[in-house]
Amino acid sequence: MKFGGTSVADIDRIRNAARHVKRESAAGHEVAVVVSAMAGVTNQLVALCETAGKERHVYDRREYDAVVATGEQVTAGLMAIALQDLGIKARSWQGWQLPILTSAAHGAARIADIDGAALIRHFKDKEVPVIAGFQGVHKETGRVTTLGRGGSDTSAVAIAAAIRAERCDIYTDVDGVYTSDPRVVPRAKRLDKVAFEEMLELASLGAKVMQVRSVELGMVHNVRIFVRSSFDAPDSIDPHGNPPGTLICDEGEIMEQQTVTGIAFSRDEAQISIRQVQDKPGVAAAIFGPLAAANINVDMIVQNVSADGKTTDLTFTVPAADYQRSLDTIKKAKEAIGYQRLDGATDVAKISVIGIGMRSHAGVAAEAFRALAERAINIRAITTSEIKFSLLIDAAYTELAVRTLHSLYGLDQAAP
Ligand code: ASP
Ligand code: MG
């Protein structure tokens, strides 16, 4: 049972979360609890580091970890107290105490193997372990590490995998994963089940329910992840029933597979077009090599076949935050690339249609093209993969496009 920041935002909520734990353990389930820092605390700790090291700007990441890991330490202790207050035996555990061994990449460490048997040996019989998420310890130096922002999801899934848990419940401030963002699509509905691969696409495309890495980890170790709300009254839920939420699982577990599962979108995109670039071997390398070296994540790439065998146009997208840096990088490499003109736009949005059913259905994208044409929405670029296609459009049409596609693929919730 993992509780996110908003689920442990204050003492009342911690006590409420403890009642969820009590319900499950009273029903005879063996549970391990993983907690995030109280909402906003990690941000405050990060800001403190930045202010303390403001002259040099790049402060020591080992000390950053020493500071930001404390948020989870506090919640783990408070949760153990709250559980004890309800008459449940509980004990808090820091990453280094178990230990959760990680790589040396301070601020973005990766979990090395967790010894599940050793963990279980630590956990005393009938005593609920409350583990501080987000943190670990470097296996050689013994220094405290953290797993990157949102990393307590990854802690929870890794621990669930190590102890072979039947399920990893992620308690959060929403009651599951939706077919699209309900703020933009009021008729979006909660998915009962979603396949790991689909969730990976949804998560990386801006459905901010879970850290992407945690979903990857769940897929690799086949950990069934259940996203549910901690705001549901703890005692109204039947611990043996089917509580509301979304199960992220292997596709084999999903009986009625729809062709399209969800529509994701992102407005934080920028488009860059390189006009009349030479059409010869090595040009793509000359463009994307420097961008990679500058740590810029290129997403869609569209290149045409030249008509005259000499020059062609090449378009790609980058995160809007990296737009200017990308232009500068390309300009610097102009000599090596050889092109006539550089264009760009930041008022673009990427709409993605996701569903593993697409593997076995033809013409899914064609339907979208027709529907958007009827709304006079122009498509700037298209990319496809096995279970997804993405369209780049003018940002002004984001909502219209998302709603149109949501209805087109039968995802709208029936009107109440
Ligand atoms: N407290 C950490 C953060 O805010 C980790 C987490 O909540 O998942 O990023
Ligand atoms: Mg989180």
Q: What is the pLDDT of residues 167-186, one digit of tens each?
A: 999 999 999 999 999 899 99
Q: For 88-97, 248-257, 333-342, which range has the lowest pLDDT when averaged over its residues?
A: 248-257
Angle at 98 between CA 94 and CA 100, to 5 degrees: 85
Which helix (H) or strand (E) covers residue 316, if one does? Answer: strand 311-319
Backbone angles phi, psi at 261, to 5 degrees: -100, -35
User: What confidence tier does 118 reach under pLDDT thresholds 50, 70, 90?
Assistant: confident
114 — pLDDT class (breaks 50, 70, 90): confident
Q: Report residue 8's pLDDT band, with 50, 70 and 90 as the boundaries.
A: very high
221 Cβ closer than 6 Å to some ligand 1 atom:
no
Q: Among 118-122, 199-203, 382-386, name the one with the lowest average pLDDT.
A: 118-122
Kindly state the average pLDDT of the residues 133-153.
96
Q: Quick check: CB of 134 below 6 Å from ligand 1?
A: yes
Residue 363 identity: G
Q: Do 226 and 167 meet the contact criterion of CB atoms below 8 Å apart? A: yes
- In this structure, which residue's CA is closest to atom 1 in ligand 1? 37
Q: How confident is the model at residue 416 (pLDDT cuts 50, 70, 90)?
A: low
Confidence category of residue 187, pLDDT binned at 50, 70, 90: very high
Predicted pLDDT at 112: 92
Q: What is the pLDDT of residue 140?
A: 94
Reported pTM: 0.90
- Rounded to an integer, what distance in angstroms lies between the CA atom of residue 65 and that of residue 103? 13
Q: What is the average pLDDT score of the chain?
A: 94
Give residue 206's pLDDT band: very low, low, confident or very high (50, 70, 90).
low
For ligand 2, the distance from its centroid to the CA atom of residue 304, given in whole angstroms, is 41
Residue ID of nearest Cα to ligand 1 atom 5: 150
Q: Kindly report, residue by residue over 13-37, the tens digit of the pLDDT.
A: 999 999 999 999 999 999 999 999 9
Cβ–ligand 1 distance for 262 under 6 Å, the answer: no
Long-range contacts formed by 209-214: CB under 8 A, 24+ apart: 209/170, 209/172, 209/174, 209/177, 210/150, 210/153, 210/170, 210/248, 211/148, 211/149, 211/150, 211/151, 211/153, 211/154, 213/147, 213/148, 213/151, 213/153, 213/154, 214/150, 214/153, 214/154, 214/156, 214/157
Question: Ligand 1: which atom is nearest the Cα of residue 43?
Answer: 4
Q: How confident is the model at residue 309 (pLDDT cuts 50, 70, 90)?
A: confident
Chain CA centroid to CA 121, Å: 32
Q: Reply yes or no on whether the pLDDT at 413 is more than 90.
A: no
Smallest CA separation from ligand 1 atom 8, residue: 150
Residue 258 is predicted with a pLDDT of 84
CA 210 to ligand 2 centroid distance, Å: 6
Question: What pLDDT score was predicted for residue 203?
Answer: 82
Pocket-testing residue among 41, 79, 144, 149, ligand 1, by greatest number of atoms within 8 A of Cβ? 149
CB-based burial label for 209 (10 Å; 0-12, 13-18, 19+): buried
Answer for the pair 304, 313: CB distance below 8 angstroms, yes or no.
Answer: yes
% of the chain exceeding 90 in pLDDT: 86
Written in H, E and C, the secondary structure of 211-258 is CHHHHHHHHHHCCCEEEEECCCCHHHCCCCCCCCCEEEECHHHCCCCC
83-92 average pLDDT score: 97
Gap between the Cα atoms of 176 and 199, Å rounded: 12
Residue 207: pLDDT band with limits 50, 70, 90: low
Q: Give the pLDDT score at 365.
A: 95
Give the model confidence (pLDDT) of 257-277 as tens digits: 789 999 999 999 999 999 999
Angle between helices 152-162 and 212-221 (to 10 degrees): 10
pLDDT at 125: 77
